[in-house]
Chains A and B, each alone.
Chain A
């Protein structure tokens, strides 16, 4: 719906001005002589009371607007003396502009209202886009382990705001899942606040999470909202919660139990309605045993525990993901998407993927870019290749292509550079040997 400015005009003064201002701000205009005649008042992005010469009726009209659940209104008239304007402002007007001098202020106000309206609309569109992007049915992967995790997550999302604890190795998509929880929930148009508990030192993290009042510490000159307050009605994603210092664990527990926060140096609590999605790669039960994580917090966090499987346990998902990334990067670098040959598939399957999906994504981008439209195993796994080159040993398990090339090089060396003899010893054709050596040389 386009932004709409509603004008309640008690007379014709300024009637030629409104269309210009509204057009400039990019808003539609609706003008009526009474509050009751304005269509769908609460959905207007701004309301103007045009009261030239009739300022004494402003307060009464402001009350009518409030009763009609209209957004905040400005009053436009011709009065310039202090007292009547003060009365209008005390009556609930957002501002008072005296025409004709304040016409540019009035226009700027309209631009601001339209921008805020557009921001809200954009926020809603963004949430819808993100919802589509993080739709569980769209997530790549058919493995039973992943599907079980996704089913479990999708079941809990609409049900109130239970805390979700996502566990899994690095690169398994914990952050994506947190976004999916947020953007598929009724909280989607409210803030999604993400903080990594390992990136900030303890004192700063505390100030960030809980906010502070002036004088709470040396640099605290003004009051500052904490991120729990910023995330009110939305979702807070606490990444690497397993690394949260013990003192802050106690404070987090209080937020979860009481749904209230107190700023550093503050004397009163502020209510917050925040869904917590926590994630960690740490084995929390083990951390509890070692006294590094509070047991009561663990129980509070793991209302809905979700475990994301590592890529190596997801079977053929690695191929689906590889195809997806191949298409994406080939498009980005304007190359023909290279096929997943049996060699490549074998290499993808045999690799351990300690960095999981993130590692796969980076490997595919690298291989697409370096292969210039082709896909080579050594471009996918540069570290394994360089290790094998440096030490003279092959990684284990090594892709067949790599083993063949290494064997070709080793045999040529053993035969003192005599390629015919090397080909004969390997029981392959000279042509095949040359191809392997050329590939090896290309790799170097």
Chain B
């Protein structure tokens, strides 16, 4: 076979493999099959993958949806130069939005906010509905973390309106979950309930296991806060059961922490401690700064209540440092107030 023909065949073969993988991956409309997307696209030669920005974006998106933010971030940075020189506003919007999601996950809220804001105004100008939903939802989550609940709620309202008109049922559920989370974080428990219910109803029918864990864990935290510790414990246990097959540390920490919180609330401090030691151990390996700080915060409270002064102080300082690093000053103030009460 002549050399040029063979080269062409190889190139055709690569293109065909990529097309095949991409079409197969794009065909996976359901999030249940995101693992399949990753499997198909990761199996491609890295060089082939990097040749095609659309393929790389699809893979990064699958990583993101399954909470593998480090891998998504690495891939997005790897294609940054090519995205920039492509001069494609649609691709740039999608890339920046996905990157913002990773910065958010890693706790760089300043960077995430800047990217989301750019995406939102760019998307509003060109009526790019999907990005309007994602960027306003992302900005809402950041404002919520900063304690600006009203601003967050108004952004969520907009995101929900756009998601409704595009029929993005999953996004509607995710946004409701996040509204519930923001309201719970800042003590607006009664208002948080219906939002969590809305999300839980959707996840029960259509959610992947990861989402069900988050949903159960967050509802457990809400119920602990409102005093229904029996139900809270059962939900935390459900979350832990569901975690067993996932092997995702971020999700496992969330479930362990929920259990730790309810055990602390019911005075079973040794059991709470055992859960939280494991949570901290796993959280240390996570890139999600919010997950880490949640674990430190709870560990510090349990150690303080247990009378383990030095250990409590150690985790208190880690929590304060992480809160400071994240710029979550209101959260930090609230934590210190709880910590001082626990001593």
Contact = CB atoms under 8 A, between A and B. Distances in A.
Interface of A: 23-24, 26, 104-105, 107-109, 111-112, 115-116, 119, 122-127, 129, 189-195, 199-201, 204, 207-208, 222, 227, 230-231, 234, 328, 332-333, 358, 361-362, 366, 369-370, 379, 382
Contacts of B193: 362
Given A112-B90, A222-B121, 14 more contacts: A108-B54, A109-B90, A111-B54, A119-B167, A190-B165, A200-B153, A201-B150, A230-B158, A230-B162, A362-B197, A369-B235, A370-B231, A382-B230, A382-B231
Interface in B92-151: 121, 128-130, 150-151
A116 B123 CA distance: 13
Given A24-B54, A119-B167, A192-B164, A105 B153 contact: no
15 contacts: A23-B19, A119-B167, A123-B166, A124-B167, A126-B167, A189-B165, A191-B162, A193-B164, A194-B161, A204-B150, A230-B158, A230-B161, A362-B197, A370-B230, A382-B231
Contacts of A231: 161
Interface in B287-337: none
Nearest to B238: A333
Contact of B165 (A129, A234, A361): A234
A104 B167 contact: no
A122 B166 contact: yes
B231 A105 contact: no
A332 B219 CA distance: 15
Contact of A369 (B197, B204, B231): B231
B342 interface: no
A208 B154 contact: yes
Nearest to B188: A199
B86 interface: yes
Nearest to A179: B164
Contacts, number: 107
B169 interface: yes
Nearest to A175: B194
Which 10 residue pairs are nearest across A and B when measured between Cβ atoms?
Answer: A126-B167, A123-B167, A191-B165, A122-B167, A193-B161, A108-B88, A112-B90, A332-B204, A119-B166, A369-B234
A370 B230 CA distance: 8
A332 B162 CA distance: 29
Nearest to A230: B161
Nearest to A191: B165
A207 B150 CA distance: 12
A191 B129 CA distance: 12
B22 interface: yes
B79 interface: no
Contacts of A361: 197
A333 B164 CA distance: 28
Nearest to A23: B19
Contacts of B23: 23, 26
Contacts of B88: 104-105, 108
A115 B230 contact: no
A366 B230 CA distance: 9
Contact of B161 (A127, A191, A199, A207): A191
A199 B153 contact: yes
Nearest to A386: B227
B91 A108 contact: yes
A129 B197 CA distance: 19
A23 B15 CA distance: 12
A227 B136 CA distance: 14
B167 A105 contact: no
Contacts of B86: 104-105, 108
Interface residues of B, number: 41
Instruction: Provide the main secondary structure of the chain B interface.
Output: helix
Interface in B224-246: 228, 230-231, 234-235, 238
B70 interface: no
Contact of B130 (A115, A193, A333, A369): A115
A239 to B, nearest CB: 10
A193 B157 contact: yes
B87 interface: yes
Contacts of B130: 115, 119
A192 B165 contact: yes
B197, B204, B234 — which one has the most chain A CB atoms within 10 A of its CB?
B234
Contacts of A109: 90
A112 B129 CA distance: 11
B191 interface: yes
A190 B230 CA distance: 43
Interface in B39-79: 53-54
A328 B54 contact: no
A230 B158 CA distance: 8
A238 to B, nearest CB: 12
Contacts of A189: 165
B167 A194 contact: no
Given A192-B164, A369-B231, A370-B231, A26 B53 contact: no
Nearest to A193: B161
A396 B128 CA distance: 57
B300 to A, nearest CB: 30
A188 B60 CA distance: 34
Interface string B155-195: 00110111011111100000000000000000000010110
Given A195-B157, A200-B150, A382-B228, A26 B26 contact: yes
Contacts of B235: 369
Contacts of B153: 199-200
Nearest to B169: A126
A328 B26 CA distance: 32
Contacts of A190: 165
A125 B158 contact: no
A266 B51 CA distance: 48
Contacts of A23: 19, 23
A126 B197 CA distance: 19
A17 B36 CA distance: 29
Contacts of A111: 54, 90
B91 A204 contact: no
Contacts of A193: 157, 160-161, 164
Nearest to A190: B165
Nearest to B161: A193
A129 B26 CA distance: 23
B232 to A, nearest CB: 10
Interface in B5-31: 19, 22-23, 26
B151 A204 contact: yes
Nearest to A128: B167
Contacts of B53: 104
Contact of B160 (A122, A194, A200, A207): A194
Contacts of A129: 169
Contacts of A328: 204
Nearest to A328: B204
Query: Which interface residue of A112, A129, A195, A328 has the most chain B CB atoms within 10 A?
Result: A112
B87 A105 contact: yes
Contacts of A379: 230
Contacts of B238: 333, 369
Nearest to B86: A104
